[in-house]
């Protein structure tokens, strides 16, 4: 099918900004998107199907119609897109899933006497939230310290009502754990003022309170009111303990949100660092599943919409730091400015402490993405499902309990190496990983053929007979070597690549006489699964456990191959340089560290090499001549 029947006629689509929706035959909204120019954007979806990303092709072929709404400005299109995504929850838009339900500190400002609580409910009317916190105990610890400085209500609503009716303090008030009006120590108005100070401190105003308490402590000490001075001292210590729980990472007047993002073809992980008063006040982790192809800039756009779409004005900071600027940054800033009431900037941190903190958030996102991918394969139920899905998708006679995956790595055609990683019962067996060096080859397919031929030869080696069990206790104990694990037969071979790589692997299996072993390839760009002799790939569902297992196999094989190649390349260049007279191990390390790479060292002139301390002109000439051979 080269053209979609519902494709609008030329000229029907306006060039105005707007929002579009793809619907299926039942009228369900499949995808919502916005565009500064509707005609230009939608024409991308109606390009020849073979040129579309596989997942985008699946969406437009599933759809039965497309419709659009023209709006007055790009900001209006952003708002309408967010509203429709929230309303229709389209299956092909990115899907968000918080890694867990985080605990928050909430102050119930809508109550007559607001109280501070620990909750996971983000929908308490009129509540002010702080966090999220990594653990519940962390919130309780913070509250215990805070009420020493700002004694506000902590008792339940039932206890509060009973105390106010009876005139007797609530139980938490009797033991000094509640500072609300129910403790009979403050009025409702005085308590509200303390609550306002509590909120102001948690929102980042810690410097003001520290200075005020310090001044009061000194005044009380000067007046020889040592009991009051000790009270202020204890409050300062409580404030210091709260502040120590969140180290100062940026300037004290900095209010910012940082978003670290790590992604692959099917998923992304987001780490949202909330910085208020220069301190990290909360961290939220979110996992995103991508159904159609989406750029990093578009992903940032969606993350910001998701984060601030329903946020209160006080929760929107002055500055938002992201790894990549969206195309509609100006519109997003205008949208946030309208919601916050004051100016908001969206930037990429280039240098300094903000860049370092963004790097930390990105590192956390990378670890979260890896955890997300491995969690499914480490769970027994998920592993069993993955193997069953693979068996059905590849039409195998049995579930592939032993899978071997191969990847070829090289540097501009040199230092060709290959890796073999092994998964048994869905789990990696790192003790059985192998690396192969390829001396001479024409291309990646030839390298793969050579490596598989060498590996398959082990399957035909005769097994060593095991000795009979010894029953005589006086007889000599004979130890026999067990069958090596490398000789175990896999049920499935996986190669990193598409149709050409699978055909090369199929030739190796045929020539080795082991065509009974199942074979497939996974192409990285579209996550397509190729089978030998097939004209078209197998497309596994995005949520398939089998696809996650194949991805992890491919990524592990690639990582292992790159690691082996780098080790070998470093060893090779060290061996070459060690042949230069007068160049010892320390100078070799200094050269490689100074130039950063072997390529840079090869391209350096003798004068540039001689600039390194300890390398004279003659030695520099010798190094240059030796590398130029």
Q: 57-113 pLDDT, tens per residue?
A: 878 888 889 999 998 888 888 888 888 888 888 888 877 765 556 678 888 888 888
pLDDT at 91: 80
pLDDT at 475: 46
pLDDT at 9: 81
pLDDT at 462 over 70: no
pLDDT at 264: 77
Strand-pairing partners, residue 587, are: none
pLDDT at 345: 92
pLDDT at 470: 44
CA distance 205 to 197: 9
Q: Give the tens place of pLDDT for each residue, 161-172.
A: 888 888 888 888
pLDDT at 463 over 60: no
Q: Give the tens place of pLDDT for each residue, 114-162.
A: 888 888 877 788 888 877 676 677 677 777 777 777 788 888 888 888 8
Fold of 379-461+485-566: Nucleotidyltransferase; domain 5 (3.30.420)
Q: Which residues of 171-324 form beta strands (DSSP E)?
A: 256-263, 267-276, 279-289, 319-321
Q: Which CATH class is domain 579-627?
A: mainly alpha
pLDDT at 379: 65
Q: Which residues of 427-505 form beta strands (DSSP E)?
A: 427-428, 434-437, 492-496
- Looking at 3.30.420, 3.40.30, 1.20.81, 3.30.200, the CATH number of the domain 256-373 comes to 3.30.420
For 421, half-sphere exposure in the C-beta direction (CA atoms, 13 angstrom radius) is: 27
Other beta carbons less than 10 A from residue 15's beta carbon: 12
Contact in structure between 66 and 22 (CB atoms under 8 Å) = yes
Q: Give the tens place of pLDDT for each residue, 532-577.
A: 988 888 878 766 778 888 888 888 888 887 776 666 555 555 555 6
Cα–Cα distances (Å) from 565 to 417, 573, 585, 612, in that order, read 6, 12, 21, 27
Task: Report which of residues 176 and 269 the model is more confident about.
Answer: 269
Is 379-461+485-566 the same fold as 256-373?
yes
Q: Give the tens place of pLDDT for each residue, 466-506.
A: 444 444 445 454 444 454 556 678 899 999 888 899 999 99
Q: Give the tens place of pLDDT for each residue, 247-301.
A: 556 777 788 899 999 887 777 888 888 888 777 777 777 888 776 777 888 889 9
Would the pTM of this model clear 0.75, i.e. be above it?
A: no
User: Mean pLDDT in the chain?
Assistant: 79
Sheet holding 345-347, edge to edge: 95-98, 279-289, 267-276, 256-263, 319-321, 345-347
Q: Which of 205-214, 216-225, 448-457 has the lowest mean pLDDT?
A: 205-214
**What is the average pLDDT across 174-194?**
82
Q: Domain boundaries in the chain?
A: 18-93, 104-204, 256-373, 379-461+485-566, 579-627
Q: Which helix (H) or strand (E) holds 572?
A: helix 545-578
pLDDT at 346 over 90: yes
pLDDT at 320 over 90: yes
CATH number for the region 18-93 comes to: 3.40.1440.10
């Amino acid at each position: 099918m080269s053209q979609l029947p519902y494709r609008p006629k030329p000229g029907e689509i306006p060039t105005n900004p707007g929002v579009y929706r793809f619907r299926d035959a039942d009228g369900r909204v499949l995808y919502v998107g916005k565009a500064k120019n509707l005609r230009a954007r939608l024409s991308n979806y109606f390009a020849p199907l073979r040129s579309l990303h596989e997942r985008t092709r699946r969406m437009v072929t599933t759809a039965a119609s497309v419709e659009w709404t023209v709006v007055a400005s790009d900001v209006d299109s952003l708002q309408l897109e967010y509203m429709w995504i929230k309303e229709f929850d389209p299956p092909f838009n990115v899907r968000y899933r918080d890694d867990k339900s985080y605990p928050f500190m909430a102050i119930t400002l809508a109550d007559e006497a607001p109280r501070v609580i620990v909750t996971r409910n983000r929908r308490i009317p009129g509540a002010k939230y702080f966090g999220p916190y990594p653990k519940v105990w962390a919130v309780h610890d913070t509250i215990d310290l805070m009420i020493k400085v700002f004694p506000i209500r902590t008792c339940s609503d039932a206890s509060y009502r009973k105390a106010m009716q009876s005139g007797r303090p609530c139980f938490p008030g009797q033991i000094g754990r509640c500072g609300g009006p129910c403790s009979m120590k403050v009025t409702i108005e005085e308590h509200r003022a303390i609550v306002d100070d509590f909120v102001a401190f948690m929102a980042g105003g810690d410097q003001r309170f520290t200075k005020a308490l310090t001044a009061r402590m000194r005044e009380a000490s000067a007046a020889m009111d040592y009991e009051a001075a000790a009270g202020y001292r204890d409050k300062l210590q409580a404030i210091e303990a709260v502040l120590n729980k969140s180290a100062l990472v940026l300037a004290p007047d900095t209010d910012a949100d940082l978003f670290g993002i790590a992604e692959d073809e099917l998923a992304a992980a987001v780490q949202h660092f909330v910085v208020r008063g220069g301190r990290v006040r909360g961290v939220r982790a979110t996992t995103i599943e991508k159904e159609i192809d989406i750029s990093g800039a578009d992903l940032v756009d969606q993350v910001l919409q998701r984060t601030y779409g329903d946020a209160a004005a006080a929760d929107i900071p002055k500055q938002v730091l992201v790894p990549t600027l969206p195309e509609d940054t100006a519109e997003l800033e205008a949208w946030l400015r309208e919601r916050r009431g004051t100016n908001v900037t969206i930037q990429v941190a280039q240098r300094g402490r903000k860049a370092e903190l963004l790097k930390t958030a990105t590192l956390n996102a990378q670890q979260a993405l890896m955890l997300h991918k491995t969690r499914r394969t480490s769970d027994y139920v998920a592993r069993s499902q993955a193997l069953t899905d693979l068996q059905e998708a590849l039409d195998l006679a049995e579930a592939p309990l032993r899978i071997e995956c191969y990847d070829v790595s090289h540097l501009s055609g040199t230092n060709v190496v290959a890796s073999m990683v092994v998964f048994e019962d869905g789990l990696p067996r790192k003790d059985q990983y192998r690396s192969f060096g390829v001396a001479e080859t024409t291309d990646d397919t030839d390298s793969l053929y050579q490596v598989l031929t060498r590996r398959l030869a082990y399957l035909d080696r005769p097994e060593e007979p095991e000795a009979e069990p010894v029953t005589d206790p006086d007889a000599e104990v004979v130890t026999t070597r067990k069958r090596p694990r490398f000789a175990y037969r896999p049920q499935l071979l996986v190669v990193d690549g598409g149709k050409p790589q699978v055909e090369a692997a199929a030739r190796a299996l045929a020539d080795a006489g082991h065509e009974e072993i199942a074979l497939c390839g996974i192409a990285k760009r579209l996550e397509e699964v190729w089978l030998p002799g097939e004209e078209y790939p197998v497309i596994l569902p995005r949520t398939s456990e089998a696809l996650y297992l194949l991805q992890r196999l491919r990524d592990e094989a690639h990582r292992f191959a790159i690691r082996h190649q780098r080790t070998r390349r470093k060893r090779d260049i060290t061996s070459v340089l060690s042949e230069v007279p007068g160049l010892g191990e320390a100078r070799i390390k200094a050269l490689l560290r100074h130039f950063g790479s072997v390529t840079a060292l090869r391209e350096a002139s003798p004068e540039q090499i001689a600039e390194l301390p300890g390398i004279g002109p003659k030695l520099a000439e010798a190094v240059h001549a030796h590398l130029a051979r």
